[in-house]
Amino acid sequence: MKLNANIPSGPLVEKWTRHKHEVRLVSPANKRKYDIIVVGTGLAGASAAASLAELGYNVKSFCVQDSPRRAHSVAAQGGINAAKNYRNDGDNVYRLFYDTLKGGDFRAREANVYRLAEVSVNVIDQAVAQGVPFAREYSGYLATRSFGGAQVSRTFYARGQTGQQLLLGAYQALSHQISLGTVKMFPRQEMLELIIVNGHAKGIVVRDLISGKISSVMADAVVLASGGYTNVFCLCTSGGASNVTAAWRAHRKGALFANPCFTQIHPTCIPVSGDYQSKLTLMSESLRNDGRVWVPKNAKDKRPPQDIPDGERDYYLERIYPTYGNLVPRDIASRAAKRVCDEGRGVGVTGLGVYLDFRDAIARFGEKVVKERYGNLFEMYREITAEDAYKTPMRIYPAIHYAMGGLWVDYNLMSNLPGLFVVGEANFADHGANRLGASALMQGLSDGYFILPYTIGDYLARNGVKRPSADAAEAKQAEQETAQRLNKLLSIHGKRTPVEFHKQLGKILWENCGMARQEAGLKTAIQQIAALRDEFWQNVIVPGSHQDLNMALERAGRVADFLELGELICLDALTRAESCGCHFRTEFQTPEGECLRNDADYAYVAAWEFGGVGKPSQLHKEPLVYEEAHMAQRSYK
Amino acid sequence: MKVTVRVWRQKNPQSLGGFVEYEVKDVSPATSFLEMLDVLNEQLIKQSKEPVHFDSDCREGICGMCSCMINGEAHGPENKVTTCQTYMRSFKDGDVITVEPFRAKAFPLVKDLVVDRSAFDRIIQAGGFISVTAGSAPEANTVPLSKYHSDLAMDAAACIGCGACVAACKNASANLFVAAKVAHLNLLPQGAPEKDPRVLAMVEAMTKEGFGACSVSGSCEAVCPKGIVTSFISRMNHDFLTAALKLRVHSARV
């Protein structure tokens, strides 16, 4: 298979403008003849569905939650980047482009990243017009703050609830279209299969989670905005319903899965406290604007943090990375935390934690200002840990947070399956091997408001209205396969619950394919996951029926797909014999313990083709050819 | 610690429901309330019994999906938190905890503790938006907005749409939810052009959905996990009255 990224010709800065001029258009009168399915209602899905409907297409929007407003984008805290240069501090589109490319350790597609930086400014305009209450200065103009991996202040925010506010903006735009009848909304419906007719994605099989009814929905194009897959680790910052099923079902039908091993570890999460724990909670990266990260210099120092004098504290990020200090990118901050904990200097009962201290910020600005900036985060920390971070430093530790990998897409955000578009975290294109803070919101909304509406029109114009009926043989077969799978899950009557399998899978992945990876561990993990998957299909227990609301069945189906994805993640990590961004292979590191990239052999996107369960996946490489940027050794010192 | 949970079990809206008691042992005080229910559900699944169905997603108090009346209180005993952010340290060893679904005519029961809150979505669809299409927005800093109004709009916009305000109100009124959205958008210059039709349409939609009138008891504010205050209801009533009067004057002219 030859992968064509369809990157437009011409200089980097002109590519998107040229491309918009060259894409075919669907005339206003013809748009209403086309049906488009959008799966997922997070930032990417809701913005895409609303924007496509505004253009005149008929949109059918699906989500698994009871309301589109609950998609997990809602939980993003810190902010959204945009190259507005409101601070007059030297920001511009090129700098945001370069910071993002460098932050991703030069494993992202250059042309996509440039376009992302370019449209970032429109996203802020759009959000403000929708009524997103971004923080403002006393002058009445928009405020910004700093985030990791940047030396400019370009992050817009709405307290610690930026994701929620941006999602409400998109949800309200979607609601407006629903009221106009241009979007038909289907909440509590889960996509369980992709329908392919004559090689094109033409529909999906969905299960109504309340009635259990399985049906096919057909369209002229399918957009997946189903989010990331980090829940494969079981313990992560994702919501409980976040899953890979929609993307994985498409993968099984031929869509390539790119860079699955690029999973981000977020440095500032509340440490794990027990086996019963269902999720890990993030403390926004914005806290690193004013909080200082440290551990005791002496591993045996067990005094309470406030009793340890400055001379006996190791502010290790400020020491090792004086230029960026506490604002180094996430992968670097996470590994540094792991290193000091591995040295035995970790804090808290488990020893897996470091301090994030606001003592100096409170002394400098007063408690009132700190409260204004981060009040809700301190509140959340208190609820979870019963500790007061105004008086004693927070304890934090890295946790799995975001998937840079995802379904492979070309410049038009279309997968290798014609008619299947993938937007937001579900695709792979923009963040390389590590995503910078506040860039996920930027990408999701850019894809949905300003990129997909142009590129999907080109596909539709070229292919015309070709919507098969829901009685098509391909649809009936997909429905049948779905029902068989559900019946199989219900008929095993084994001894272990879906959650038990999920936890075990997560443990295997975290230990062997988490913050540090090495060849032997990855090989063992692949075997362990295959064995676990076999056991799952013989020993899982799922009570109830599929003709009713059955959350155990929902979980079982998602875990079954995670058990296949987990193996691919390890295979991808094993094949990529270099370290880059979040992918840290212990065999490949600099003397200082930083990532040692290998551009000669691995400057490519690894796009995997499904080969069957338990059978080898086939690797296709998209070489990363940079026309403008130079692949440099990353340095934040 | 060991607790007994008395949970409302009901297979579907047609069948009869009732309380069932379960014992959950070895619960750490650091466990969240929903994690305690997770533990119970694992036990039930292992016995081939259907787990207790409840809504939950983000587990960090922001998505608004979790609900439940815990010992008669929406989102449980603690102030300004959701059920997912309620921890077992708020209970005592040996406690009997009663767990029920949110009860309101406009929130029909689905199963066990799960209710249908789509009425909220329909209220937003009636007018809870600014109808600006992608691409038509002016440069973001063109319209300055005082920090005071911006902060106030943010206070209102913090609503997570969980429905606790409705569940706590003896009239099952949705006034706090609707008022929060009306205030968020009506306070902003961007929301001004649609101010009047917005408040009229949203209030009408709320009434149609079967929510009751304001009980003026303030119970909504008391249980709101995001601290939305009832003064937004006064603001909504003001906007509604103004809009209704304008409409009358306008109709009289026509």
> Is the per-residue pLDDT at B254 higher than 70?
no
Q: In this structure, what are the phi and psi dihedrals at residue A587, rounded to the nearest 5 degrees?
A: -70, -20
Each residue of A105-132: pLDDT tens digit?
Answer: 999 999 999 999 999 999 999 999 999 9
- pLDDT at res. A167: 98
Determine the longest span between alpha carbons in chain B, in angstroms.
Answer: 72
Nearest CA in chain B to A175: B125
User: Which residues of chain B have a CB within 8 Å of the CB of A241?
Assistant: 57
Query: Could you give the residue ranges of the DSSP H alpha helices within chain B?
Result: 33-46, 118-127, 147-157, 164-168, 175-186, 195-208, 219-223, 231-253
Residues of A452-481 as b/e, b for ≥16 C-beta within 10 angstroms? bbbbbbbbbeeeeeebbeeebebbeebbee
Q: What is the DSSP letter of A442?
A: H
Task: Report residue A49 as tokens.
Answer: 């569905």
Q: Distance between CA A21 and CA A14 in Å, rounded?
A: 11
Contact A120, A302 (CB under 8 A): no
Identify the pLDDT of residue A220: 98
The pLDDT assigned to A273 comes to 81
Q: What is the pLDDT of residue A175?
A: 98
Indicate the pLDDT class of residue A480, thresholds 50, 70 and 90.
very high
Note the pLDDT tens digit of each residue in A166-219: 999 999 999 999 999 999 999 999 999 999 999 999 999 999 999 999 999 999
pLDDT of A383: 87
Tell me, yes or no, whether B77 and B148 share the same domain: no
Q: Give me the residue from B39, B114, B134 closest to A449, CB to CB.
A: B134
pLDDT at B250: 77
CB atoms within 10 A of CB A635: 10
Residue pLDDT, tens place only, B51-99: 999 999 999 999 999 999 999 999 999 999 999 999 999 999 999 999 9
Say what the pLDDT of residue A563 is: 98
Helix or strand or coil: residue A457? helix
Q: Tell me the per-residue pLDDT of B105-141, one tens digit each, with 9 for 90 and over.
A: 999 999 999 999 999 999 999 999 999 999 999 999 9
**Same structural domain for residues B104 and B127?**
no
Pair B134, B209 in one domain: yes
Our answer to whether residue A597 is catalytic in this structure is: no
> Do B23 and B74 sit in the same domain of this protein?
yes
Q: Kindly state whether residues B101 and B197 are assigned to the same domain.
A: no
Specify whether B133 is located in the same domain as B208: yes
Number of Cβ pairs < 8 A linking chain A and chain B: 223
Residue-wise pLDDT for A538-585, tens only, equals 999 999 999 999 999 999 999 999 999 999 999 999 999 999 999 999
Domain's final residue, options B91, B111, B131? B111
Same domain (yes/no): B200, B236:
yes
Q: For residue A429, what pLDDT is reported? A: 87
* Contacting residues of A for B61, CB less than 8 Å apart: 380, 383
Range of the domain at B83: 3-111
Domain boundaries, chain A: 265-400, 473-622
- Those of residues 322-361 in A touching chain B at CB distance below 8 A are none
Q: Are residues B177 and B232 in the same domain?
A: yes
> CB distance from B116 to chain A under 8 Å?
yes
- Summarised one tens digit per residue, pLDDT across range A81-101 is 999 999 999 999 999 999 999
Closest-CA residue of B relative to A376 is B226
pLDDT, chain A, mean: 96
Domain end point (choices B111, B135, B164): B111
Out of B57, B80, B111, a domain closes at B111
Contact A133 B153 (CB under 8 A): yes
Tell me the mean pLDDT in the region A35-62: 98
Report residue A494 as tokens: 């084994």
3-state secondary structure of B103: coil
Whether residue B242 sits in one domain with residue B122: yes
Does pLDDT of B251 surpass 80? no
Residue in B with minimal Cα distance to A490: B48
CB contact under 8 A, A549 and B114: yes
Q: What is the number of domains present in chain B?
A: 2
Token pair of A66 as six digits: 């009871």
What pLDDT digit, counting tens, does each position of A486-518 carry? 999 999 999 999 999 999 999 999 999 999 999
- Is it the case that residue A148 has pLDDT exceeding 90? no
So what's the architecture of A265-400 in CATH? Alpha-Beta Complex (3.90)
- Read off the CATH number of the domain in which B79 is found: 3.10.20.30
User: Given pLDDT bands bounded at 50, 70 and 90, which one contains residue A160?
Assistant: confident
Task: Kindly report the nearest CA distance between residue A103 and chain B, in angstroms.
Answer: 27
Q: Based on the domain organization, do B12 and B50 belong to the same domain? A: yes
What CATH number corresponds to the domain at position B223?
1.10.1060.10
Characterise A499 by phi-psi region: left (phi > 0), alpha (psi -120 to 50), beta (else). Answer: alpha
Bridging pattern class, strands A313-314 and A200-208: unpaired
So what's the ipTM on this one? Answer: 0.98
Q: What percent of chain B has pLDDT over 70?
A: 100
Write out pLDDT tens, residues A293-334: 999 999 999 999 999 999 999 999 999 999 999 999 999 999
CB contact under 8 A, B45 and A69: no
How far apart CA A141 and CA A135 sit, in angstroms, is 9
pLDDT digits (tens, 9 = 90+) for A416-430: 999 999 999 999 989
Instruction: Judge whether A33 is closer than 8 Å to chain B, CB to CB.
Output: no
Neighbours of B64 (CB within 10 A): 27
Alpha-carbon dihedral sign for residues A475, A481, A484, A485: negative
**Same domain flag for B29 and B130:** no
CATH hierarchy code of domain A473-622: 1.20.58.100
Residues 374-413 of A with CB under 8 A from B: 379-380, 383-384, 386
- Name the residue among A356, A359, A370 with its Cα closest to residue A292: A356
pLDDT tens-digit map of A588-618: 999 988 999 999 999 999 999 999 999 999 9
Q: List C-alpha distances in Å: A525 to A152, A497, A529, A563.
A: 41, 21, 6, 12
Same domain for B87 and B122, yes or no, is no
Give chain B's mean pLDDT: 96
Pairwise CA distance, residues A469 & A220, whole Å: 11
% helix / strand / coil in chain B, to the nearest 5? Answer: 45, 15, 45
